[in-house]
Amino acid sequence: MNDFLCMPIVLSICLVVVRKLQGRHTHRLPWWVIFCLTLYFSLYFEYYLPQVSIRYTSDIIDVLLYFAGALLFFLFTMLKPIKKE
């Protein structure tokens, strides 16, 4: 469950930070940003870290869960209507 919830939590934090920095409440993360961040997390935690530390193990199911969580975030942010200010 941690891997599934990881990307929605990280992407939500990123979205809040970007909205605060830009001062636009209606900003949404583009699909390619969501994809790149998810790919980065997948490669870092499932490829790189297992090679440099015995504490971490690589698992393809975790990668699928990262992308499933990212897809969930994308669908919820894209389907949610933005309120006009």
Express each pLDDT in 8-47 by its tens digit. Answer: 999 999 999 999 999 888 889 999 999 999 999 999 999 9
**85 pLDDT above the threshold of 70:** no
Share of the chain above pLDDT 70, in %: 94
**Hey, what amino acid is at 55?**
R
Express each pLDDT in 63-76 by its tens digit. Answer: 999 999 999 999 99
Distance CA 30, CA 12 (A): 13
Which tokens is 52 given?
């440099």
Distance CA 42, CA 67 (A): 9
Distance CA 76, CA 58 (A): 29
Q: What is the pTM of this model?
A: 0.87
